[in-house]
Amino acid sequence: MSYLVLARKWRPKDFADTVGQEHVLQALINALETGRLHHAYLFTGTRGVGKTTIARILAKALNCEKGVTAEPCGECSACREIDEGRFVDLIEVDAASKTKVDDTRDLLDNAQYAPARGRYKVYLIDEIHMFSKSSFNALLKTLEEPPPHVKFLLATTDPQKLPVTVLSRCLQFNLKRMTPRLISDRLTHICEAESVEAEAAALATIARAADGSMRDALSLLDQAIAFCGGKIEEPQVAKMLGTIDRDHVVRLLRLLAANDAGGIIDAIREIDEQFPNYSRLLEDLARDLQRIAVYQVVGTCDSEDDLNEQEYAELSEALPTDDVQLFYQIAIMGRRDLHLAPDPRSGAEMTLLRMLAFRPASAAEVPSAAGGGAPARSVAKQAAATAPRAVKAQAQELVSAAHQWADPDWSALVAELRLSGAVRLLASNCAYLKREKNTILLGLDPRSESLLTKQRKDVLGERLSTHFGEKLTVDIELGADKGETPVQEETRIEDERIEAARQTLEADPNVQALKNMFGAELKTDSIELINPSQSD
């Protein structure tokens, strides 16, 4: 017996075995159980998400010899013949090869006749958007008023190309792209059933490469089994796909954070020895930058795969938010233009160097002569070691003065600390309370409790220590009456400005005249504040 590829062998035979499209399955199951069956169903979605598979299961549910049911038996002759693709009353059509109007008319000529074997005559038309305008017109009349024994199951990857007259006559179901985690779990189940030994990291790599398509994932799994010759391991799968080792992507991000151009060139030289797919390298880089941006805003990252969230936490602290946004834009633009480069490697190198060349100026880093970057505190230490004795004495006086503490304006201090991401959000939602020895006590708005983590608190303490030139720690307690936070202060000031503007407008003689003459009413909700710096 010839080998049956996994994509066909593991195609679901019933609704219970179908994964990832619960919103569609639930609607179909309820319709079958209650008998509220429509005459035309349209399934839309990207390739490999289950459009024709669900349509075939629905055809079985309609024609099962045990009756219309949401759980076809799979054993009767009708169910078996549908699975084998030889059921006479299931007419499957590939619209891409049947675009002429004569083909459509020939197809529908027999719709008026009763089914030969089954309960319903089912027309399954795949890629329906490939029909010509004349073919759609030929289909419309039958689609609008079909005989009671006819059901239409339409599938397409591009529903925008369907005429609204067709869309209005169908129940439309939009199938979702599969998440990497869902695909990976399914591949794990299949490998166990097929007695194939596979590493979880290797299956996660295949799941990401499938790009939301379960069929593509099974085809790649077939390829991986043949390529690896036994146990499916992550390095071999990465070599097969031309993907970059996860550690290389993280290394590049850390080099970008350190402004180390020389290190980036060395890293690309090492990566090039693996014959990589540079388009996928930039894709992975952009994907990680997007997740870092999400982590900086909400403090977590639901990446739907097996990547380490701790890495995102570290990188979100190392990369300023504006750098992340810039790097992401350059990565996707570089990937788009990669085919224009002299060769893929030089295109990827220039994309990474462009990130460093156009990154926003930062006081936190000073470029080194070697092309890399050194933290300002390292440069400061070097300068201090060679400074004249008088300068050292002056620096010592400044350090001593730092101990003569005066309660700061917390809102102004937060701006001076040049915080970024979630740490800035945390500080902006805190109010300054007092200082006890070397501990700064802050009160956090209870509504922002999710922002409070030990890591962010420690980072805030380090920034305060650097700013004041002494070792400081931060202690944060929850409480609604702990004082006004910078966010609350900003909101209050804005409200006061709006109220002042409203009172000014109400007292304006011209406004008063309009009210008296025409019965006009001042819409205070429409008042907008103008930034003074933009009013010139």
| pLDDT tens digit sequence for 98-132 | 777 887 888 888 888 888 888 999 999 999 998 88
- Neighbouring-strand partners of residue 442: 432, 476
Tens digits of residue pLDDT in 361-375: 543 444 443 444 444
- High-pLDDT (> 70) share of the chain, %: 86
Range(s) of the domain holding residue 229: 180-241
Same domain, 159 and 187: no
Same domain, 193 and 55: no
Average pLDDT of the segment spanning 457-480: 87
Dist CA 479 CA 315 (whole Å): 31
Q: Which residue has the tokens 């070792």?
A: 471
> What pLDDT band is residue 144 in, cutting at 50, 70 and 90?
confident
pLDDT at position 512 = 80
Dist CA 234 CA 203 (whole Å): 8
- High-pLDDT (> 90) share of the chain, %: 28
- Neighbouring-strand partners of residue 431: 443
Could you tell me which residue, 404 or 526, shows the higher pLDDT?
526
Same domain, 23 and 165: yes
* Secondary structure class of 528 (helix, strand, coil): coil
Evaluate whether residue 535 is within a structural domain.
Answer: no
Evaluate whether residue 192 is within a structural domain.
Answer: yes
pLDDT exceeds 80 at position 304: no
Q: Under a CB-based contact definition with an 8 Å cutoff, are residues 190 and 224 in contact? A: no
pLDDT exceeds 70 at position 310: yes
Same domain, 164 and 19: yes
Dist CA 288 CA 318 (whole Å): 14
Closest to 53 in 3D by CA, of 209, 188, 227, 178: 178
The structural domain count of the chain equals 5
Same domain, 10 and 144: yes
Same domain, 168 and 208: no
**CATH code of residue 334:** 1.20.272.10
Dist CA 359 CA 516 (whole Å): 57
Average pLDDT of the segment spanning 328-352: 92
pLDDT at position 263 = 92
Q: Which of 124, 142, 174 is the last residue of a domain?
A: 174
Q: Under a CB-based contact definition with an 8 Å cutoff, are residues 31 and 38 in contact? A: yes
CA 74, distance to chain mean position in Å, is 38
Same domain, 13 and 155: yes
Q: Under a CB-based contact definition with an 8 Å cutoff, are residues 102 and 138 in contact? A: no
pLDDT at position 299 = 78
> What pLDDT band is residue 481 in, cutting at 50, 70 and 90?
low
pLDDT at position 302 = 63
Average pLDDT of the segment spanning 426-442: 90
**CATH code of residue 476:** 3.30.300.150
Could you tell me which residue, 393 or 257, shows the higher pLDDT?
257
CA distances from 278 to 263, 289, 344 (A): 18, 16, 6
Average pLDDT of the segment spanning 415-431: 87
Give the chain's mean pLDDT. Answer: 83
Torsion of CA 102, 103, 109, 113, to 10 degrees: 180
Q: What's the helix, strand, coil split of the chain in %, to 5?
A: 60, 10, 30
Give me the phi and psi of 420, to 5 degrees please.
Answer: -140, 160
pLDDT at position 112 = 85
Same domain, 13 and 160: yes
Q: Which of 225, 241, 257 is the last residue of a domain?
A: 241
Evaluate whether residue 536 is within a structural domain.
Answer: no
Tens digits of residue pLDDT in 213-252: 999 999 999 999 988 877 888 888 877 887 666 778 888 9
Same domain, 210 and 256: no
Same domain, 417 and 268: no
Evaluate whether residue 392 is within a structural domain.
Answer: yes
Q: Which residues contact 400 (CB under 8 A, 6 or more apart)?
A: none
**CATH code of residue 226:** 1.10.8.60
CA distances from 246 to 148, 180, 202, 269 (A): 56, 16, 12, 16
Same domain, 289 and 213: no
Evaluate whether residue 351 is within a structural domain.
Answer: yes
Dist CA 356 CA 259 (whole Å): 6
Evaluate whether residue 430 is within a structural domain.
Answer: yes
Same domain, 339 and 195: no
Token couple for 327: 């790097």
pLDDT at position 103 = 78
> What pLDDT band is residue 328 in, cutting at 50, 70 and 90?
very high
Which range has the worst mean pLDDT, 23-32, 242-251, 341-350?
242-251
Evaluate whether residue 531 is within a structural domain.
Answer: no
Evaluate whether residue 19 is within a structural domain.
Answer: yes
**CATH code of residue 48:** 3.40.50.300
Closest to 267 in 3D by CA, of 146, 145, 372: 372
* Secondary structure class of 434 (helix, strand, coil): strand
Strands 365-367 and 171-174: unpaired
Count CB-CB contacts under 10 A for residue 20.
Answer: 20
